[in-house]
Amino acid sequence: MILIADGGSTKCSWCQLDEAGQRVYFNTEGYNPDFIDTTGIAASLSSSLPEGVPRTQVREVHFYGAGVSSQAKADIIGNALKQLFPAAAIFVTEDLLAAARALLGRQPGFAAILGTGTNSCIYDGQRITHNVDSLGYFLGDEGSGSFIGKRLLRDYLRGLLPDGLGAELQSAYGLGSRNDILDRLYNQPLPNRFLASFAKFAYDHNNVSYCREIVLEGFEAFFNNLVIHYPGYQSLTFNCIGSVGYNFRDALTQVARSHGMTVGKILRSPIDDLVSYHEG
């Protein structure tokens, strides 16, 4: 039996795959090693793994995770997984490889993630060969949920939202004072997830021109700061995974085509196709 996990910053999607090819899916919270340590991951998994997962019978765990940018980051997750699955071989790598394998299988091409954060690459069918660094939510992550949320929250705090939208945002999220919001961003855990939560507001208010415009601007920034810097990008098909890319796929398709790229797959989650990759 093996476990395959697609670990975003907000949610982690799992599949338990047995020798007969039977799949059992479940979810836990996301585990980005930039924001949580081994102890925290192990504690969360201990309380959230379904009772039916036979921990001692798992022989392999393939974990693809957001924030796995080095061996040290991989070890934060890997050491937690070893505590939960003592008999298993543990493989931890970046979520971008999961996106590439799910979107492209063993064929070369371009793959991107647009979810809580952003990432992208050129993939040769086996490994990632070119990556323009997204730089995380402080400096980059253009087009992501945190990028859209940052714009919404900034305009809210400066009183720049269109009439009525600020009150709706305040009501929907129970926002407190300026200092409360800044404390949530600078002093409390998972600020990227907090920012990304506001992308849903933009989706729910897609009929408001302001919300449509900030989403388009986010995707334009994603292309202008990341995608166009890949050599020969216009000869590649644009493929993307992630809730933001999927929910706003019409806007994303519009922007991709305006930059001369043909659009291929846009998926909400890679987990089904990723499991198929490991079955093959």
> Radius of gyration (Cα) for the chain, nearest Å?
19
Predicted confidence (pLDDT) per residue in 224-236, tens digit:
999 999 999 999 9
Domain containing 51 equals 2-98+272-279
Contact 219, 202 (CB under 8 A): no
User: Model's pTM, two decimal places?
Assistant: 0.81
Tell whether 73 is covered by a domain: yes
pLDDT of residue 49: 85
Tell whether 220 is covered by a domain: no
Between strands 2-7 and 237-241, the pairing is unpaired
Which amino acid, one-letter code, is at 103?
Answer: L
Segment 207-234 mean pLDDT: 95
Burial class from Cβ neighbours inside 10 Å (0-12, 13-18, 19+) for residue 250 reads: exposed
Number of domains in the chain: 1
Tell whether 71 is covered by a domain: yes
**Which of the two residues, 117 and 280, has the higher pLDDT score?**
117
pLDDT of residue 176: 83
Region for residue 136 given its phi and psi (left: phi exceeds 0; alpha: psi -120 to 50; beta: otherwise): left
Tell whether 163 is covered by a domain: no
Q: Is the pLDDT of residue 177 over 90?
A: no
Tell whether 142 is covered by a domain: no
Q: Is the pLDDT of residue 48 over 80?
A: yes
Predicted confidence (pLDDT) per residue in 85-126, tens digit:
999 999 999 889 999 999 999 999 999 999 988 999 999 999
Question: Across all residues in the chain, what is the average pLDDT?
Answer: 91
Strand order in the sheet with 109-114: 128-130, 118-123, 109-114, 237-241, 262-267
pLDDT of residue 19: 81
pLDDT of residue 160: 93
DSSP secondary structure code for residue 126 in this structure:
S
Residue 75 maps to which CATH number? 3.30.420.40
